[in-house]
Amino acid sequence: MLKPIIVFDLDGTLVDTAPDLLESLNHCLKAGDLPDADPAKLRRYVGHGARVMINKAYTGHGKELSEQELDELVALFLEHYSSNMPGAARVFPGGMEAIERFADRGYRLAICTNKFEGLSVKLLEGMGIADRFVSICGSDTFSFRKPDPRHLTQTILRAGGDPDRAVMIGDSKTDVDTAKAAGIPVVAVDFGYTEIPVNVLGPNRIISHFDELTLSMVEQLTGAVLQM
């Protein structure tokens, strides 16, 4: 029997990975003899991936990169980031309590992220919480990725989840657009990595702390009360 499910985006939603990603970005900037990135300026690009962050940081210093140079810097970034996991990464406040709250109620839990699957698994294993999730699906798990709605729907099905009793938790336009296209209710966190304020993206709900992600909220969004 399919189970109700909560699907989390990873970076900027469930886990604050920005300090480590920015550290790896600075590693790439040092390779180009450039000063460290300004965290306040680059944090909003964290959710766009290494390629975008590196390109933004270099162009911000007036240096245009060729595709080959960018490829080499992305490889350098990924090597540094992977080698230093889990680093300073931490679950956002209330996140672990929310995980336990829904697990105790019988919900499946899953990750749907545009981070590579291997990096996602390695990060969560390093944090000691990988076993909380029935499926961890990254940008390379399938032949498609968010905002393609199949990334979310296939993550749900791989976890044995019920698409009619599913909720997506995310922090960006990509997450909201993905969930909407899949016909899945979406809760946006307002503390993540986004250039666009989540209140203009049209999620079903917005939360500022995981304590606000309650059983009653999820049941209202899915229109189905879990029978224990």
The string of pLDDT tens digits covering residues 116-129 is: 999 999 999 999 99
Q: Do domains 3-16+91-222 and 18-83 have the same CATH topology?
A: no
Class of CATH domain 18-83: mainly alpha
The structural domains of the chain, with segments of one domain joined by +, span 3-16+91-222, 18-83
The string of pLDDT tens digits covering residues 124-168 is: 999 999 999 999 999 999 999 999 999 999 999 999 999 999 999
Catalytic residue selected from 9, 16, 162, 177: 9
Write out the two tokens for 120.
Answer: 């996602």
pTM: 0.92
> Is residue 221 over pLDDT 90?
yes
Give me the CATH code for the 3-16+91-222 domain, please.
Answer: 3.40.50.1000
> Is residue 188 over pLDDT 90?
yes
Span 32-58, mean pLDDT? 85
Tell me, what's the pLDDT at 208?
98
Specify the range with the lowest mean pLDDT, choosing from 13-22, 183-192, 216-225: 216-225
H-helix segments, 32-148: 39-42, 50-60, 67-83, 95-104, 117-126
What secondary structure does DSSP assign to 27-46, as a single string? HHHHHTT-PPP-HHHHGGGG
9 is catalytic: yes
> Is residue 226 over pLDDT 70?
no
